[in-house]
Amino acid sequence: MSHSHVSLFFAMSATAHTAHSAPSTMAWTASLQTGDARMDETHQEFVDMINQILATPEDQQLPLYKAFLNHTVEHFAQEERWMLATGFSADNCHAEHHATILETMRVVEAHYLDSDKTIITRMAEALAEWFPGHANSMDAGLAAHLKSVGFDSVTETLADPSVIQNVTMSGCGSVSCSS
């Protein structure tokens, strides 16, 4: 299990935050930029939604969390659509990481409904910790790949579709799958 997964599963432990103080928020900074403006726009929404959840009393977080989960489904689907359009295989490791995160997020909703009312806060904090590493490695790697093949993420088109005919990527581009 990689480090990024460890912090997510740590969020699942009900004993992890017994001495919980005021939840920290996440700042949007230039270091989170990936080089793709459309991707960064979605990421900024992701950060805003985490902060909104952390600023909300735990007994009122469920509607925000559901909206955040739906947003994250779309966020990841968008990146995966771009991967498929530019030569990645469907089972590449970046997409696998996304699937693991979504699976954990769905389990968190179930635990919250099953009376663990601090778990959404713990999950939001774990995602705030996980996100910069993912943005700087897999997402930035994808953004660099999109640029290198001439893919426009706003129109979702390739300047020259023939450039990806011989591109088959099963990994994460220039980025290691262990990150």
Name the one range near Fe ion by CB under 5 A: 19-27, 61-69, 75-83, 158-166. 75-83
Least separation in angstroms between CB 98 and Fe ion: 6
Tell me if 69 sits within 8 A of 109, measured CB to CB: yes
Go through 127-159 and write b for each residue having 16 or more CB atoms within 10 A of its CB, e for each that does not: bbbbbeebbbbbbbbbbebbeebebebeeeebe
Least separation in angstroms between CB 3 and Fe ion: 16
Q: Does 36 bind Fe ion (CB under 5 A)?
A: no
Q: Does 125 bind Fe ion (CB under 5 A)?
A: no
Of residues 125 and 139, the one with the C-beta less far from Fe ion: 139
CA–CA dist 73, 101 (Å, integer): 10
Least separation in angstroms between CB 57 and Fe ion: 28
| DSSP secondary structure code for residue 139 in this structure | I
CA–CA dist 58, 123 (Å, integer): 12
Among 36, 80, 125, 139, binds Fe ion (CB under 5 A): 139
What is the Cα gyration radius of the chain? 17
Least separation in angstroms between CB 99 and Fe ion: 11
Write the Ramachandran bin of 155: left for phi over 0, alpha for psi from -120 to 50, otherwise beta: alpha
Of residues 46 and 112, the one with the C-beta less far from Fe ion: 46
Q: Does 40 bind Fe ion (CB under 5 A)?
A: no
Name the one range near Fe ion by CB under 5 A: 7-15, 17-25, 119-127, 131-139. 131-139
Of residues 56 and 79, the one with the C-beta less far from Fe ion: 79
CA–CA dist 5, 130 (Å, integer): 8
Neighbours of 71 (CB within 10 A): 15
Give the count of residues interacting with Fe ion (CB under 5 A).
Answer: 2
Q: Residues in the site for Fe ion, rule: CB under 5 A?
A: 79, 139
